Amino acid sequence: MARGTSSGNYYTVDKTYSGATALSVSMWIYYSTDADATMAGLWEDLATTQQWLLAKNASNQLGGIIFDSAVRVAVGGTMSKNAWQHTAFTFASSDLVRAFINGSQVATAAVGGGGLATRTQSFGVGARQAGNGAFAGRVAELAIWTSRLTADQIASLSKGFAPPKVLKPDFYAPIVREMIDVTNKYTFTTVGTPTAESHPRIYK
């Protein structure tokens, strides 16, 4: 089963990516309402906790956002309500922030040439780490790499291949039965009561 998140019902993970010069984030999502929302990320206050974010806006566009020397926002495309879809973004200090919906690149943003900001807070799943920007929907197959995935690798993920079949992640949580990360055993903390929901088909 996937997990249903909403206001007051989400997770935090005891991991940051301070100084990373490359990052890729992949996640399956399902939602039914138009709203600004965070699927996963470490992003609260401009002065203290910005680092990375996978989010959607009220126009159902996907946003891949990082903070290196400034805020870099790749936002675009159109996601569909009431359907599972694959979302992802990639970042490299020598490249761009690139956002993808269902395997297709939908937006880019220039970067500053440095690594991600140094932060100590945990990142959030289904909301930002303090519960703001709650995502009212279902989340599954969250994976994070400390490298920039290629367009072909993102396309494979969007076809339903499990992240470890594409490239071993730094962090991988199927979000099916147990919430613990199965790659490096980072710890999930439950906030409220996220629900069990149906899960998209994934090829292990």
DSSP state, residue 203? B
In angstroms, the CA 125 to CA 120 distance is: 16
Which amino acid, residue 58?
A
pLDDT of residue 201: 86
Residue 203, in any domain of the structure: no
CATH number of the domain that 29 lies in?
Answer: 2.60.120.200
For the stretch 137-149, pLDDT in tens is 999 999 999 999 9
Residue 117, in any domain of the structure: yes
Which residue in 56, 35, 53 sits closest to 44, CA to CA? 53
For the stretch 51-109, pLDDT in tens is 999 999 999 999 999 999 999 999 999 999 999 999 999 999 999 999 999 999 999 99
Residue 202, in any domain of the structure: no
Residue 145, in any domain of the structure: yes
Q: What is the CA radius of gyration of the chain?
A: 15
Q: What is the pTM of this model?
A: 0.96
Which residue in 54, 50, 65, 63 sits closest to 18, CA to CA? 50
Domain that holds residue 45: 2-197
Instruction: Indicate the number of domains in the chain.
Output: 1
Residue 185, in any domain of the structure: yes
